[in-house]
């Protein structure tokens, strides 16, 4: 029995398909099939049922699968332990990045990951862009090691840890002919948005969660007329007079042809947090990336501020 046979068996079991397993392993499908059959001959029992449209585990295969995974995990653990002692970090890290983030913020995130890769070229980073709520769930079930996500709260859910890395006020941006501009001091009460069409990030994002919460506190549900995936798109819709966009203040400052209004009596905040499981990432590569990001991102602020501080 060889480790590669166990690796191929696990891949086929997880993909339920020999072709997809071969693509995942970057191998030819006939070679994967031949090695799995050799494993079955050595064990004296079929592990996979190939009779249906998808490949399924036999009863014996289902019993063997946990042992195959454990054997592969033990080998990877041994490699990581040796890497820690030799100072050569290896492995893979799964990192989630909030979709619809400010372009300046995304640029800094890319720069930080590039710096980490330069220092640890043997670490592979699998980057996923998704909504914040889905990334929280992925962290809790172990599908992600780390995530940079939007949050409506300063405190993390149970089982997770947070470091707030961006914390900025949310403002309303409107077209120059908006009746809301009648406010003398450039501020409007949140209640003024009760019957106004609003333009927001999609449900499941941190900013949308903040908007829904503060509107609920004010006694109404926001009337979302348009959703867009990035603050720049929100501002573009507002510029055409399609509604009021609620965006982070720095994004509003960069939006042309728009007027900005602060909120009176309430100060909603847009936050991005670095999140990880409270018991810490499992592998040394993920732990190293977490430490790198925590150190580089530091206290909440704007990416431009931190970049300037480094130069």
Report pLDDT for 44: 94
Say how many C-beta atoms besides its own lie within 10 A of residue 75's C-beta: 13
Prediction pTM value = 0.64
pLDDT confidence tier of residue 307, bands split at 50, 70 and 90: very low
**Architecture of the domain spanning 89-311:** 3-Layer(aba) Sandwich (3.40)
Sequence-distant (6+) residues with CB within 8 A of 106 are 97
Instruction: Confirm if 171 and 262 have CB atoms less than 8 A apart.
Output: yes
Q: Read off the DSSP letter of residue 310.
A: H
**Hey, what long-range contacts does 178-183 have (CB within 8 A, 24 or more apart)?**
178/241, 178/244, 178/259, 180/244, 180/261, 181/259, 181/261, 183/261
**Architecture of the domain spanning 3-86:** Orthogonal Bundle (1.10)
Where does residue 181 rank: exposed (0-12), middle (13-18), buried (19+ CB within 10 A)? middle
In this predicted model, which residue has the larger pLDDT, 18 or 92?
Answer: 18
Q: In the chain, where are the structural domains located?
A: 3-86, 89-311
What is the secondary structure of 104-170 as a DSSP string? HHHHHHHHHHHHHHHH-TTEEEEEEEE-HHHHHHHHHHTS-SEEEEEES-SSPPTTEEEEEEEEEEE
Say how many C-beta atoms besides its own lie within 10 A of residue 214's C-beta: 20
Structure confidence by residue, pLDDT tens digits, 133-181: 889 988 988 889 999 998 887 788 888 999 998 888 998 888 888 888 7
| CA–CA distance, 93 with 77 (Å, rounded to integer) | 14
In this predicted model, which residue has the larger pLDDT, 49 or 279?
Answer: 49
Structure confidence by residue, pLDDT tens digits, 197-241: 999 888 888 888 899 999 999 899 999 999 887 777 888 888 888
Helix axes 59-86, 3-15, angle to 10 degrees: 120
- CATH topology identical between 3-86 and 89-311: no
Q: Give the bridge partners for 269, in sequence order.
A: 169
Structure confidence by residue, pLDDT tens digits, 247-287: 888 777 776 778 888 888 888 888 889 999 988 787 788 88
Report pLDDT for 308: 32
Judged against a pLDDT cut of 90, whether residue 6 lies above it is answered with: yes
| CA–CA distance, 294 with 311 (Å, rounded to integer) | 19
Report pLDDT for 40: 94
Helix (H/G/I), strand (E/B), else coil: 186: coil
């Amino acid at each position: 029995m060889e480790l590669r046979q166990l690796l191929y068996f696990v891949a086929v079991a997880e993909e339920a398909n020999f072709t997809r397993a071969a693509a995942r392993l970057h191998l030819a499908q006939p070679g994967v099939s031949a090695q799995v059959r050799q494993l079955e001959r050595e064990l004296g029992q079929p592990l996979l049922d190939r009779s249906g449209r998808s490949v399924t585990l036999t009863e014996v295969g289902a019993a063997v699968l946990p042992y195959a995974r454990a054997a592969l995990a033990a080998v990877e653990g041994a490699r990581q332990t040796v890497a820690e002692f030799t100072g050569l970090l290896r492995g893979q890290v799964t990192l989630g990045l909030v979709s619809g983030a400010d372009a300046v913020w995304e640029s800094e995130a890319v720069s930080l990951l590039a710096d980490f890769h330069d220092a640890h070229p043997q670490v592979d980073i699998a980057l996923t862009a998704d909504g914040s709520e889905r990334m929280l769930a992925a962290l809790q079930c172990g599908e992600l090691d780390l995530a940079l996500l939007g949050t409506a709260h300063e405190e993390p859910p149970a089982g997770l840890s947070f470091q707030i890395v961006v914390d900025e006020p949310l403002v309303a941006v409107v077209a120059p002919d908006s009746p809301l501009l009648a406010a003398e001091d450039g501020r409007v009460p949140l209640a003024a948005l009760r019957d106004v069409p609003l333009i927001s990030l999609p449900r499941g994002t941190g900013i949308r969660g903040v908007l829904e919460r503060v509107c609920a506190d004010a006694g109404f549900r926001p009337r979302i007329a348009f959703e867009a995936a990035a603050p720049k798109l929100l501002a573009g819709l507002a510029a055409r007079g399609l509604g009021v966009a609620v965006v982070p203040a720095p994004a509003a400052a960069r939006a042309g042809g728009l007027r900005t209004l602060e909120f009176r009596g309430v100060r909603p905040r847009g936050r991005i947090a670095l999140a990880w499981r409270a018991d810490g990432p499992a592998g040394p590569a993920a732990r190293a990336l977490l430490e790198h990001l925590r150190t580089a991102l530091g206290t909440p602020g704007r990416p431009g501020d931190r970049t300037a501080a480094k130069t």
